[in-house]
Structure formats: structure tokens, C-alpha cells
């Protein structure tokens, strides 16, 4: 029973390029969360998605960042025109029954984005 | 602003000693969760305590919750070198997302 799969594990981009981060939730999970973590800091919530719907994107920067979770395939976090400040570890998590009232999250191993 | 703040930020102990980490939060909650993160890895769920519970145990872990003080503590007894990791508390906000604290970095020396 595979866990949450994120790829790539490491991603290097030059300023101005696009970064695409992928997340396949655990089998049977239809709720996905994206978090960003800077070195020596906690996780910052970015967005919560269900299949084909964005439920809460209050943590997403208004520009350059977007997320989707299509009916088929993985969830994608897309960062356009990356800047050095986007360098961070991006974690995806999934849950079985939705909002985390008495639900735990299962995390992937993260994608480390480095912007040169 | 952060919903949860852990204290201390860093903790170093010897194997066999107990480690206590504290978490304070700001708004009312339905549950509070603790997670562990090994360096460079994703978070792993440790334990969930509901707002109507005061204490919960899981193996060498003991979690307490004081809703009147808006605080929780995580106790790891008889620590091992393998317990070296960062520990985060998390609370749900607006019922649709978990907000994580700043974390406690625990170092256990053999």
C-alpha cells in the first residue's frame, strides 16, 4: 500500500522558469493538502483540494502559484516565473475523509525546490 | 500568525532521559495532533487528542491537553537516539486545514 508519492524529489530551476510539483495521494484518499517549509521552520499551509475542487487556497500567494487536483492523475502545484524566494521544501499530504476534524494527514517525502 | 508555538525550540538530552515539549495555541480547537519529522523527510503522525480528552498514551508517548490554558505537552519517556527529530503540534483551523507550530528540534545523544 504505497504512501503519498511526490516527485520530483529535488527540482532545480533558474529564475523565471516554471516549476511543477506532483503529488499522488494514498490510495483511496481524495483530499490533498500542500504545505511549504523553509529551513528550520514549521510547515505553512498553502492549499486544500478535493478532486476537481479547490476548497481553501488562503495560504497560496496571489500571483504565480496555482494548484489543481484533476479527476484523473496526481495533484499539481505549479509555480510560474520562479524567484529565489520560492526555494523551499514543498510537502503534500492526503487524508481519507476530508477536513482534519479527528483525521490525521499522511505526508509525502517532499520536493526540494532550488531556484538559482 | 502561527496558530501553534512549541517550546522549547531545541532540546538536547541523553539516551534514557525523558523529553518534554510544549505547544500553545490561540483559538478553540476540535483536536490537536503531534507529528514527527526526521531531517529531510515528510511528517509522520504520532498521536491525536480530542478537545474533550485530557491525556492520551501511545507506547512511550504521553500527550496532555489543557483547553483552558490552550496548551498541550508531548512527553517521550526513556528516549533513544532514534527519537532525534523535529516535533510539531498541529491544530485544525476553520475545520478545513491543519496549522502547524514552529516545532521543537530534539537531539538525543547516545
pLDDT at B1: 42
Q: What is the pLDDT of residues A26-55, one digit of tens each?
A: 998 989 999 999 887 889 999 999 988 999
Q: Kindly indicate the confidence band of residue B107, based on its pLDDT and cuts at 50, 70 and 90.
A: very high
| Mean pLDDT of all residues in A18-26 | 97
CA dihedral (A52, A56, A58, A60) in degrees, to 10, reads -30
B104 in contact with A at a CB cutoff of 8 Å? Answer: no
- Give me the helices (H) in B19-61, please: none
Of A99 and B30, the one with more pLDDT: B30
- Residue A85 has a CB neighbour count (10 Å cut-off) of 9
Give the separation between CA A35 and CA A33, rounded to whole angstroms. 7
Q: Give me the sign of the Cα torsion angle A81, A86, A89, A92.
A: negative
- How many beta-carbon contacts under 8 Å exist across A and B? 68
pLDDT for residue A98 is more than 80: no
| pLDDT(B4) > 80 | no
Q: How far is CA B73 from CA B56, B81, B89, in A?
A: 11, 21, 9
Nearest to B100 among A43, A109, A110 (CB): A43
- pLDDT higher than 70, residue B2: no
Nearest residue on chain A to B51, alpha-carbon basis: A102
3-state secondary structure of A8: coil
Would the CB atoms of B97 and A48 count as touching at under 8 Å? Answer: yes
Shortest CA distance to B62 belongs to which of B44, B38, B42, B78? B78
Put simply, the answer to whether A45 touches B98 (Cβ < 8 Å) is yes
pLDDT of residue A63: 94
Nearest to A104 among B2, B33, B99 (CB): B33
| Closest approach of A89 to chain B, Cα-based (Å) | 9
- What's the whole-number average pLDDT of chain A? 92
Q: Mean pLDDT, to the nearest integer, of B23-38?
A: 91
- Mean pLDDT, residues B18-44: 92
Task: Say if the Cβ atoms of A110 and B41 lie within 8 Å.
Answer: yes
Interface check for B52 against chain A (CB to CB < 8 A): the answer is: no
Amino acid at each position: 500500500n504505497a504512501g503519498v508519492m511526490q516527485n520530483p524529489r529535488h527540482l532545480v530551476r533558474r529564475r523565471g522558469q516554471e516549476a511543477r510539483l506532483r503529488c499522488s495521494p494514498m490510495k483511496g484518499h481524495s483530499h490533498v493538502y500542500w504545505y511549504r517549509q523553509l529551513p528550520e521552520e514549521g510547515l505553512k499551509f498553502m492549499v486544500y483540494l478535493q478532486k476537481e475542487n479547490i476548497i481553501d487556497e488562503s495560504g497560496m500567494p496571489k500571483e504565480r502559484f496555482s494548484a489543481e487536483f484533476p479527476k484523473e492523475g496526481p495533484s499539481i502545484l505549479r509555480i510560474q516565473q520562479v524567484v529565489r524566494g520560492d526555494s523551499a521544501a514543498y510537502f503534500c499530504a492526503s487524508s481519507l475523509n476530508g477536513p482534519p476534524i479527528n483525521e490525521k494527514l499522511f505526508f509525502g517525502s517532499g520536493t526540494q525546490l532550488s531556484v538559482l | 500568525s502561527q496558530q501553534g508555538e512549541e517550546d522549547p525550540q531545541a532540546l538536547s538530552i541523553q539516551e534514557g532521559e525523558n523529553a518534554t515539549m510544549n505547544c500553545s495555541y490561540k483559538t478553540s480547537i476540535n483536536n490537536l495532533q503531534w507529528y514527527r519529522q526526521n531531517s529531510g523527510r515528510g511528517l509522520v503522525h504520532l498521536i491525536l487528542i480530542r478537545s474533550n480528552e485530557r491525556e492520551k498514551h501511545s507506547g512511550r508517548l504521553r500527550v496532555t491537553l489543557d483547553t483552558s490554558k490552550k496548551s498541550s505537552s508531548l512527553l517521550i519517556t526513556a528516549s533513544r537516539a532514534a527519537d532525534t527529530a523535529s516535533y510539531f503540534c498541529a491544530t485544525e483551523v476553520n475545520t478545513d486545514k491543519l496549522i502547524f507550530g514552529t516545532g521543537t528540534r530534539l537531539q538525543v545523544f547516545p
